[in-house]
């Protein structure tokens, strides 16, 4: 986690009409780092990742990619940079098989027709390197379990060789074993040197796989903690704003006056 971050947001703000969704938010993501983005409902997590994914262009602030300032106005911009997003609703086609879903929109072709052999081979390679086990790469998505769908959706994000992968609550609807599969996969993404932004409400998941926790509260940064030496309670209090009370405000004021 040394060196410059792949993705760096500085003082990013976003307004929707009268609602100030994000105010001066900073976020750094390094290669090989899992950043958990946590916060209560309405804290601005989804808005923040949508600005990175190009769904909502930012109003103020800067986004840097590998040190260069960039503009992300459209989803295509984000994809071109190397940001892949796995949304909560998985965006897979139920009727297509796993191979077809992995390559949807970027099919491999040979003599102008679909190259099923090459796609199937690459799909298998990809799933093997991620140690993903599914019954067959040729069965329709509809026949897979929720966890299997989630790992396919994540694998799909990797087909375009991204550098940053955004996972929006990947374990929200999953059982114990399936959650473990997805967390395994997140760790494998880190081993491959990808930066991962993981939105989650589940503190156990965050503690299990994240390197860094970035807390949002009411559209502002409310602390960035290294997971290893931060307790569960500290994160929770940052999320709920339990630290934002008379005592802390007084301490902050004293610190301010001391300058």
Partner 1 sequence: MSTSQTTPTPADAAADAAAPAASAADPRLLVRRQGLGGYAEEFRRRIKSGDLGSLPVVIGLVLIAVIFQSVTGHFLQADNLTNITKWIAGPGLIAVGVVFVLLLGEIDLSLGSVAGVSAAVTSVLAVREGLNEGLAILLALAAAVALGALHGFFFARIGVPAFVVTLAGMLAWSGLQDYVLGKLGTVNNINDGIVANLDTYFLGDGDVLYAWLLAVLAVAAFLTAQLLDARRRTAAGLPARSTGEIALRTGALAVLALTGAYMLNQDRGLPLPLVVLLGVVVLTDFVLRRTSYGRQIFAVGGGVEAARRAGINVARVRISVFMLSALLAGLGGLFIASQQGSADKQLGSGNVLMSAIAAAVIGGTSLFGGRGKTWSALLGILVIQSITTGLDMVHAAQAIQYMITGAVLLAAVVLDSLTRRTRTAGRS
Provide the binding-site residues for partner 1, judged by CB under 8 A.
75-76, 87, 89-96, 100, 104-107, 109, 112-114, 117-118, 120-121, 124, 128-129, 131, 133, 135-136, 139-140, 142-147, 149, 173, 175, 177-178, 180-181, 183-184, 187-188, 191
Q: How far apart are CA 142 and CA 100, in angstroms?
A: 13
In the complex, the smallest distance separating the C-beta of residue 143 from partner 1, rounded to whole angstroms, is 5
In the complex, the smallest distance separating the C-beta of residue 25 from partner 1, rounded to whole angstroms, is 25
Toward partner 1, which CB reaches closer, 87 or 225? Answer: 87
Toward partner 1, which CB reaches closer, 156 or 217? Answer: 156
Toward partner 1, which CB reaches closer, 187 or 233? Answer: 187
> What are the φ and ψ backbone dihedral angles of 52, each rounded to 5 degrees?
-70, -35
In the complex, the smallest distance separating the C-beta of residue 171 from partner 1, rounded to whole angstroms, is 13
In the complex, the smallest distance separating the C-beta of residue 102 from partner 1, rounded to whole angstroms, is 10
In the complex, the smallest distance separating the C-beta of residue 98 from partner 1, rounded to whole angstroms, is 12
In the complex, the smallest distance separating the C-beta of residue 97 from partner 1, rounded to whole angstroms, is 10
For residue 32, the Cα-to-chain-centroid distance in whole angstroms is 13
Q: How far apart are CA 146 and CA 92, in angstroms?
A: 12
Q: How far apart are CA 72 and CA 226, in angstroms?
A: 28
For 196, the 3-state DSSP assignment is strand
Toward partner 1, which CB reaches closer, 1 or 91? Answer: 91
Here the contacts of 88-94 (C-beta below 8 Å, separation 24 or greater) are: 88/168, 88/169, 88/172, 90/149, 90/150, 90/153, 91/153, 92/141, 92/149, 92/152, 92/153, 92/156, 93/141, 94/140, 94/141, 94/142
Q: How far apart are CA 246 and CA 248, in angstroms?
A: 6
Toward partner 1, which CB reaches closer, 43 or 53? Answer: 53
Toward partner 1, which CB reaches closer, 7 or 182? Answer: 182
Q: How far apart are CA 128 and CA 120, in angstroms?
A: 12
């Amino acid at each position: 986690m040394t060196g410059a971050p792949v993705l760096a947001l500085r003082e990013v703000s976003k307004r929707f009409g009268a609602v100030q969704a994000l105010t001066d938010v900073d976020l750094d993501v390094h290669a090989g780092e899992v950043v958990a983005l946590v916060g209560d409902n309405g804290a601005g997590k989804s808005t923040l990742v949508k600005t990175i994914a190009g769904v909502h262009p930012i109003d103020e602030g800067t986004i840097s990619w590998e040190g260069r300032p960039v503009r992300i106005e459209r989803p295509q911009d984000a994809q071109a940079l190397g940001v892949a997003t796995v949304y909560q609703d998985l965006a897979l086609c139920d009727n297509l098989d796993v191979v077809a879903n992995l390559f949807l929109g970027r099919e491999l072709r040979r003599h102008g027709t679909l190259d099923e052999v090459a796609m199937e081979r690459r799909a298998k390679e990809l799933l093997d390197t991620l140690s993903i086990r599914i019954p067959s790469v040729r069965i329709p998505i509809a026949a897979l379990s929720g966890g299997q769908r989630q790992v396919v959706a994540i694998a799909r994000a990797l087909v375009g060789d991204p550098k940053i992968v955004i996972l929006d609550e990947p374990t929200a609807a999953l059982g114990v074993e399936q959650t473990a599969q997805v967390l395994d996969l997140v760790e494998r993404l880190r081993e491959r040197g990808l930066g991962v932004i993981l939105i989650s409400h589940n503190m156990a998941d965050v503690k299990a796989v994240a390197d860094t926790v970035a807390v949002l509260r009411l559209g502002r940064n409310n602390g960035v903690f290294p997971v290893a030496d931060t307790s569960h309670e500290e994160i929770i209090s940052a999320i709920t704003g339990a630290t934002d009370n008379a005592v802390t405000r007084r301490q902050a004021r004293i610190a301010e006056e001391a300058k």
